[in-house]
Amino acid sequence: MLVQAAGFALLAALSPTALLVVAVFLGSDRPRQTGAYYLAGAVLMSVATGVIILVALRGGGLARPSQHEPRYGLRLGLGILALAGGAFMAVRGPKPPDPAKPQKGIVSRLVAAPGPRSAFAAGLLVFAPGVTFIAAVQVVATAKASVPLEAIGLAIVVVLNVILVWLPILAHLIAPERTGRALTAFNGWLRAHGHTIVVVVLVAAGVILTVNGLTGLVRGT
């Protein structure tokens, strides 16, 4: 259970936006304070939504043997949703920057004015739950595990989900100048390939969830 949940959590963590935002905040006038607030927002959103999803799935009885088909049907549905999202983004392609409309998105406007409040709000928005995060929590909720083991599983999911926030912050605390240079160099590549990364992650998660869901449904028949 823990290994599978961790795998989906790592897929959920592969967010170019999350890394780009933390790089900007760590390059601000108050990098430690701003980064800490960004991490706080990310953790709060991950914990709150994780608990809500876990309670909802447990309340629906999906961990019971009698709910075998609904449990794997949900995974199949999440897989199809992820594949559809990946296909849509692949067909649409990356949006070219529009010089006439800078800072159009909410996150972009928050990042443009680094500060504790904007960093915290950015953490909440960037880490709104996606398909792979829901899949990770669903693995924990349907594992028929004890409450302490479920708590450990959810904690692992949350820690891995925000790894692209706390890991750069930790590196910045140890070696700020080297980390800043590395993030600046890497962000150029990330901006150029971020759209492709998102598509690959969605398709990979979709394939895994779809195969897992179909396999579970076939075994249950």
Residue range 37-46, pLDDT digits in tens = 999 999 999 9
Separation CA 14–CA 20 (nearest Å): 12
Residue 181: other Cβ atoms inside 10 A: 11
Q: Which domain does 178 fall in, by range? A: 2-220
pTM: 0.86
Residue 165: other Cβ atoms inside 10 A: 28
For the segment 18-37, the average pLDDT, to the nearest whole number, is 92
* pLDDT at residue number 68: 55
For the segment 146-152, the average pLDDT, to the nearest whole number, is 88
Q: How many domains does the chain have?
A: 1
Q: What is the band of 186 on the pLDDT scale with cuts at 50, 70, 90? A: confident
Q: How many CA atoms lie within 13 A of 165 on its CB side?
A: 31
pLDDT at 111 exceeding the cut of 70: yes
- Tokens in use for 189? 């590549």
Residue range 28-61, pLDDT digits in tens = 889 999 999 999 999 999 999 999 999 888 777 6
Residue range 86-106, pLDDT digits in tens = 999 999 877 655 444 445 678
Q: What is the band of 127 on the pLDDT scale with cuts at 50, 70, 90? A: very high
Residue indicated by tokens 């009885």: 61
Which is more confident, 75 or 165? 165
For the segment 189-199, the average pLDDT, to the nearest whole number, is 87
- In the DSSP assignment, the letter for residue 46 is H
CB contact set of 142 (below 8 Å; sequence gap of 6+): 57, 62, 63, 71
Query: Burial of 158 by CB count in 10 Å (0-12 exposed, 13-18 middle, 19+ buried)?
Result: buried
CB contact set of 177 (below 8 Å; sequence gap of 6+): none
CA 61 to mean position of chain CA atoms: 25
